[in-house]
């Protein structure tokens, strides 16, 4: 048992190198955000001036506002649709058109975004010609695009959680006479609450970060944060973007660590409760 958890020197080295590879770029972003010099990679002393100028940059501030609004709206819709889809995939299994349905759930996650972005734009253009809706590209069209992308991820997370938990609780509730809708809301939903929460967080980050699909779906009045970042970094290094990146890393890092801690905690609690219940039932 003990030697099962001993890593060979080769594995240890690979793990260390892998983590260094993943983190060196991120650390360098943060370090250079405190660089006084405008030439990002030439050290000119410690300074926080890029943070100050970042918070005065109205273009970035308004882009952040728009991106956060879109992210919250898309994540909400994606969680709703994705939870239903994950439930359908895990519990209904076969129904007419189920294969097509599962395929349409998988494809958005891997399909290159230049394709999904272009195709969705052409759909909206055709809809506009036919029925006049949507009148223009902007919040609504971006929201639809992000929702479609994110719901696939939510569905995968919810589906795999539903396949993990056994159906005996749902079966028992049904034997006791509960109706399917009630079973879903009282039994199933709380059991997958954690999966839904991580699906929501994942959707928010995906939406906040999306550049390519957004570029196709946005209109002149709606510029999201990734679009602003992209237009700036295309021209070269920019210390304000380093400051923005450091803030992102800090926020995401704290969120992920807290979420991970909470998840582990509740998992441990559940395991302890289950062990206690087992002991009691075997003693009685």
Partner 1 sequence: MNIQRLFKRLKPGRGAVISVPYFWLLLFFLVPFFIVLKISFAEQDLAIPPFTSLMNLEEGGLLHLTLNLGNFDFILSDDFYAKTYLSSLQTALFTTLMCLLLGYPIAYAIARTDPARRNVLLMLVMLPFWTSFLLRVYAWMGLLNENGLINSFLLAIGVINEPLMLFHNDFSLYLVMVYAYLPFMILPLFSHLVKMDGRLLEAASDLGAGPIKAFFTITLPLSKNGIIAGSMMVFIPAVGEFVIPELVGGPDTLMIGKVLWNEFFDNNNWPMAAAVATVMVLLLIVPIAFLHRFETRQLEGKGND
Q: What is the DSSP letter of 35?
A: B
Cβ closest to partner 1, residue 222 vs residue 242: 242
CA distances from 132 to 15, 27, 103, 126, 268 (A): 55, 49, 30, 9, 54
Cβ closest to partner 1, residue 55 vs residue 92: 92
Cβ closest to partner 1, residue 61 vs residue 109: 109
Spatial contact of 134 and 63, defined as CB atoms under 8 Å apart: no
The distance of closest approach from Cβ of residue 280 to partner 1 in the complex, given in angstroms and rounded to an integer, is: 25
Spatial contact of 74 and 207, defined as CB atoms under 8 Å apart: yes
Cβ closest to partner 1, residue 262 vs residue 280: 262
Cβ closest to partner 1, residue 61 vs residue 123: 123
Q: Largest Cα–Cα distance in the chain?
A: 73
The distance of closest approach from Cβ of residue 59 to partner 1 in the complex, given in angstroms and rounded to an integer, is: 16
The distance of closest approach from Cβ of residue 270 to partner 1 in the complex, given in angstroms and rounded to an integer, is: 15
The distance of closest approach from Cβ of residue 222 to partner 1 in the complex, given in angstroms and rounded to an integer, is: 16
Helix, strand, coil shares, percent, the chain, to 5: 80, 0, 20
Spatial contact of 187 and 170, defined as CB atoms under 8 Å apart: yes
The distance of closest approach from Cβ of residue 39 to partner 1 in the complex, given in angstroms and rounded to an integer, is: 8
């Amino acid at each position: 048992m003990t030697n099962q958890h001993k890593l060979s020197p080769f594995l240890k080295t690979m793990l260390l190198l892998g983590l260094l590879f993943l983190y060196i770029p991120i650390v360098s972003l943060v370090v250079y955000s405190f660089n006084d010099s405008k030439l990002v990679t030439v050290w000119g002393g410690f300074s926080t001036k890029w943070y100050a100028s970042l918070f005065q940059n109205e273009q970035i501030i308004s882009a952040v506002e728009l991106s956060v609004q879109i992210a919250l709206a898309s994540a909400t819709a994606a969680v709703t649709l994705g939870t239903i889809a994950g439930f359908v995939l895990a519990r209904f299994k076969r129904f007419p058109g189920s294969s097509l349905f599962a395929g349409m759930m998988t494809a958005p996650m891997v399909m290159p975004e230049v394709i999904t972005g272009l195709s969705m734009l052409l759909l909206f253009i055709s809809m506009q010609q036919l029925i006049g809706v949507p009148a223009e590209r902007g919040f609504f069209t971006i929201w639809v695009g992000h929702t479609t992308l994110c719901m696939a991820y939510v569905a995968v997370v919810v589906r795999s959680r539903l396949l993990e938990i056994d159906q005996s609780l749902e079966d028992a509730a049904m034997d006791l006479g509960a109706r399917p809708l009630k079973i879903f809301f009282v039994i199933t939903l709380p059991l997958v609450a954690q999966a839904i929460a991580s699906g929501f967080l994942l959707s928010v980050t995906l939406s906040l970060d999306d550049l390519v699909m957004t570029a196709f779906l946005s209109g002149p009045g709606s510029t999201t944060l990734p679009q602003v970042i992209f237009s700036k970094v295309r021209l070269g290094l920019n210390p304000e973007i380093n400051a923005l990146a450091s803030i992102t890393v800090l926020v995401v890092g704290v969120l992920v660590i807290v979420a991970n801690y909470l998840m582990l905690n509740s998992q441990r609690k559940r395991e302890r409760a289950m062990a206690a219940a087992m002991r009691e039932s075997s003693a009685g």
